[in-house]
Structure 1
Amino acid sequence: MKKTKLILIFVLCLTGFFYTDKSFALDTKQPSKEEVSKLPEDSKEKIYQDLIICLFVPYIQKEVNSYYQEYLTEMPTVFPDSVDIVNIKRESEGGYLIQSELIVHPFVGPYNYVGDDRIIIETGVDGYFKVIKFEHLQSYQLPWNWQHIVKKAY
């Protein structure tokens, strides 16, 4: 019994001694200005942008499917991180009619981008939502192992 306890304590001590990933060393190096600027923002503006994109993704996906169904057998995916907000503006002063311009980067598989698309969306009171314009800006060639989903060049 005592031998077992001693062996167990010895193994735990060796494991703790050689396992350095969880060490408690103090890092005194100060981050550079570049490193600080690359830190993720948790500002209200960033959160609002993410909220808008998350609410728009189902509508954007519908438009993307509509465009790419002619060119691909597998529909590309749109994730919130593949959408960039270009501009958001009020259509009338003090009103609730808001127009959003977005650039979408749909992809297939593990982020094989198929193109860049511009979409302009108008939103308003009582769930009003209208896609004003969908424009395909640029196409990207898929890698060789994804060529089988191409119906025709887009």
Structure 2
Amino acid sequence: FNNLYRAMGAKSMVMNMVGGLELSPWLILISIQLIILLLGFVIDDFAVVMMVAPIAFPIIKALGFNTLWFGILFIVNMQAAYLTPPYGFNLFYLKAIVPKGVTMGDIYRSIIPFVILQVIGLIIVMLFPQIATWLPSVLGK
């Protein structure tokens, strides 16, 4: 996908399109995060990374955001999506180990607080990038 994406010139088209929007970089970042989360509801995490990363990373880099930080946001976002129906793999793993009387509906309802916590964690890391970048910056010295 990445090679075809670049060969067709889509990267420059997307960069020009985003550059012409005159939106706040933070609004673009939040939009990308929402798209990632929504895609994660219906597509497995590896496919989302393969589809979104070639498009999102150049945009994030052009907006001046730290790409390591964005990568961590991406992973946290995918973890939240990994818990959400209808595709939430973790929910099916959980179904395999719970007692027989527990239904998938029970499991779906029980994960709501965990998804909320994941989204709060994502927002905290978005607002305070140092949480995600401090240790790598110390280890990189």
TM-score category (smaller protein): under 0.3
Higher Rg: 1
Q: TM-score when scaled to structure 1? A: 0.20
Higher relative contact order (CA 8 A, sep 6+): 2
Q: TM-score when scaled to structure 2? A: 0.21
Q: Identify the structure with the greater strand proportion.
A: 1
Q: Identify the structure with the greater helix proportion.
A: 2
